[in-house]
Each structure stands twice: as structure tokens, then as C-alpha cells.
């Protein structure tokens, strides 16, 4: 292990702690006014990168897909996939509750016709699900990261 500088004595550290406590903190315990909060919000919105320039932008359909992920239809699909696979990971057999994910074999974003098809799903534990997104477990090419 590389040492970075010399160790301070406990006396020096105590003096630095005491000095830090004496320094006033300008905003501690104070809240911004409603007007200031509104200005901060407007400034943040002006500076935020949006649309095609945003780092997470893919195809402009993210809002649509996000809305679909919380529907009762998807919840039913997930449950049906779990039930078909016996509530256990199809890859390693792990059946720990709360550790399972229903994985779309053909990607949710690329195959809207297969989104709710139980045959396009497989139950995976968290570890195997991460592995599935990193490798080609089922002979389907994964999108480039």
C-alpha cells in the first residue's frame, strides 16, 4: 500500500476539528425561498440535455416503453413465465424468492409483437440475468453496449 503523506498527530487533528466547528456554515438549516427554488428549477431545465443529444437517447420511444413496463399485462406475463418455469432460475436452478427476473429472450424494445408472449420469456436469477445481458446464452445476438 502506498502511503500518501505523513500521518497527523491526534493533537493536530483535534485542532483542525475544533477550527472546522468554529467556521460558520452559511446555508445550514436555511431553506431556499419559493422564488429561488423556481429560478433554480428553470435554470436546471434550460441546461438539461434532452432529446437526441441526451446520453441515454436510443430511438425516442423510451417514454412509450416505460409506460408499457408497468401495465397489468406485463405483470401477468411475468407471473406466467415464473409459473411455467416453476419459480426457479432456468439456467442455474436458484429458487430464492425476490431473486428472480423474467427475461425477454428477444429484446422487449426490438420485438413489440413478442413482448407479452410467454414463449419469449425465461425465468432467471439476478446473476444469470446479468450474464444473459452480457453474453449470448440462447443464440440470439445481444445489442452492442
Buried b (16+ CB within 10 A) or exposed e, 88-118: bbbbeebeeeeebbbbbbbebeeeeeebbeb
The contacts of residue 125 (CB under 8 Å, 6+ apart) are: 89, 91, 92, 94, 96, 99, 100, 101
The pTM of the whole model exceeds 0.85: no
Which pLDDT score, from 0 to 100, does residue 135 have?
76
* Domain boundaries defined on the chain: 65-134
Whether the pLDDT of residue 140 is over 60: the answer is no
What are 53-73's pLDDT values in tens digits? 888 787 877 777 777 778 899
What percent of the chain has a predicted confidence (pLDDT) above 90?
A: 39
Nearest to 67 by CA among 103, 106, 112: 112
Considering 60-64, 111-115, 116-120, 132-136, the range whose residues carry the highest mean pLDDT is: 116-120
Amino acid at each position: 500500500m502506498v502511503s500518501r503523506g505523513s500521518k497527523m498527530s491526534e493533537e493536530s487533528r483535534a485542532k483542525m476539528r475544533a477550527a472546522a466547528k468554529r467556521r460558520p456554515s452559511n446555508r445550514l438549516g436555511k431553506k431556499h425561498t419559493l422564488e429561488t427554488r423556481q429560478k433554480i428549477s428553470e435554470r436546471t431545465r434550460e441546461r438539461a440535455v434532452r432529446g437526441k443529444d441526451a446520453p441515454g437517447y436510443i430511438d425516442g420511444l423510451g417514454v412509450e416503453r416505460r409506460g408499457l413496463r408497468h401495465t397489468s399485462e406485463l405483470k401477468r406475463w411475468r407471473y406466467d413465465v415464473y409459473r411455467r418455469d416453476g419459480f426457479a432460475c432456468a439456467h442455474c436452478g436458484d429458487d430464492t424468492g425476490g431473486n428472480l427476473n423474467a427475461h425477454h429472450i428477444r429484446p422487449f424494445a426490438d420485438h413489440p409483437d413478442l413482448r407479452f408472449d410467454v414463449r419469449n420469456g425465461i425465468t432467471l436469477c439476478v446473476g444469470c440475468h446479468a450474464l444473459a445481458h452480457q453474453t449470448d446464452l440462447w443464440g440470439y445476438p445481444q445489442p452492442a453496449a
